[in-house]
Amino acid sequence: MQPTFSLESPYGGPEAQSTADWFKGDLHIHTVFSDGLYEPHQIKDFYKAYAYQFLAFSDHPNGGTVYHFDVDDDDFVTIPAYEFAADPLRVHINCIGAAVGPEGIHPAGPDMQGAVDRVNKQGGFAFFCHPFVYDYPNPAYVLTGLSGLEIINTGAISYRAGQDDAVRRGTALDLWDELLTKGQRLWGFVNSDFHWFCNEEPCVAFNMVDAPSLRATDLLQSLNAGRFYASTGLRLREILVEETSITVECEQAACIRFIGAGGNTLKESCGHRATYGVQGDEIYVRVECTDERRAFTTKPQLDFFHQTAFLQPTFVIPTRSS
């Protein structure tokens, strides 16, 4: 009997996708050219020591962000970016792949939608940063053309370690599920929002990208298409999306959870490999792989925050019966 639905997944199929040669990077980094404390080459050296292969230096525009490509080499690339701020609401949107002019990267203008539209036209994409760091109206309900949102901002959590609102300010998983349930197609990003070492623990957050090469253009295309997973420490081994099932393998995982509409758990399995048989009424299925090890190794107040890998959603599309 033919299924009454089809699956649309950024991970393709029906063959298993090995993640061994995917590229590791962070899309939210600040340098001395805005409110960070370090030069791009210093940040590059530190992140390369933790096996990062790409970074987006997303400085605040400050009238036109200066961008430097002189830190790129054969096994490390930077992606042009800036963090747009719609003052006075303090809404922040990371514009990744923004065009570089003679004097740097220029802000898109005074409006949020204009920032999104401009970077999309330039061949890049935009995502909503740290949705709950500030108490402002949520633009994700009204903006069109967003590629996704920052589901984990480890910097926002780290420098609030010990405060009651640390996790609430730095996570947006409930919002992600709410928007996915309403039919929006948004990818989930995990970034560090790195500024300085004293209050933050860098290199906790990363995005693993399935791209044909380490060129910025290839990374941009794959990221915008959702061909990546996001993590606070865990690395996946295999992703398999078949006609009616989703299988994930993560050698480090203690628990694998399949999540559907409304953020409801569809299935939870102990161990490093699990398969979920799609029923057809889920709207979407996303996966979280979690381990008991802590994500923040220098913040004992955050011992409860475990290493987790977040897969992008696979969408369940009903088909017409004949």
The confidence score (pLDDT) of residue 136 equals 78
Give CA angle at 202 (135, 129), nearest 5°: 30
The predicted-structure confidence for 113-172, as pLDDT tens digits, reads as follows 988 998 999 999 999 999 998 887 788 888 999 999 999 999 999 888 888 888 889 999
Residue 25's DSSP bridge partners are: 54, 207
Provide mean pLDDT across the span 224-237. Answer: 97
The confidence score (pLDDT) of residue 16 equals 61
The confidence score (pLDDT) of residue 102 equals 54
Cβ atoms 68, 43 nearer than 8 A: no
What is the reported pTM? Answer: 0.94
| 272, pLDDT greater than 90 | yes
| 186, pLDDT greater than 80 | yes
Nearest to 18 by CA among 310, 248, 314, 231: 248
Domain of residue 303, CATH code: 3.20.20.140
Residue 221's DSSP bridge partners are: none
What is the domain count for the chain?
1
Q: What is the number of H-type helices and E-type strands within the chain? A: 6, 20
Report how far apart, in Å, the C-alpha atoms of 257 and of each of 72, 74, 94, 229 are.
38, 37, 29, 15
The predicted-structure confidence for 83-118, as pLDDT tens digits, reads as follows 988 766 678 999 999 887 655 565 545 688 988 998
The confidence score (pLDDT) of residue 14 equals 61
One DSSP character per residue, 49-101 reads: TTT--EEEE----TTSB----TT-BTTBEE--EEEEEETTTTEEEEEETPPPB
Output 18 or 65, whichever has higher pLDDT: 18
> In percent, how much of the chain has pLDDT > 90?
66
Give the domain range for residue 251.
5-318
Report how far apart, in Å, the C-alpha atoms of 77 and of each of 44, 80, 122, 168, 259 are.
9, 10, 19, 32, 34
The predicted-structure confidence for 189-220, as pLDDT tens digits, reads as follows 999 999 986 667 778 999 999 999 999 999 99
Output 244 or 158, whichever has higher pLDDT: 244
Instruction: For residue 61, name the pLDDT band (cuts at 50, 70, 90).
Output: confident
Question: How many angstroms from the chain centroid is the CA of residue 237?
Answer: 18
> In percent, how much of the chain has pLDDT > 70?
89
Q: Rounded to whole angstroms, how far apart are CA atoms 209 and 207?
A: 6
Q: Rounded to whole angstroms, how far apart are CA atoms 250 and 252?
A: 5
One DSSP character per residue, 146-176 reads: --EEEEEEHHHHHTTTTSTTHHHHHB-HHHH
| 66, pLDDT greater than 80 | no
Q: What share of the chain is helix, strand, coil (3-state, %, to 5)?
A: 15, 35, 50
| 1, pLDDT greater than 80 | no
Answer whether the bond into residue 313 is a cis peptide, omega within 30°. no
Q: Token pair for residue 306? A: 């475990």
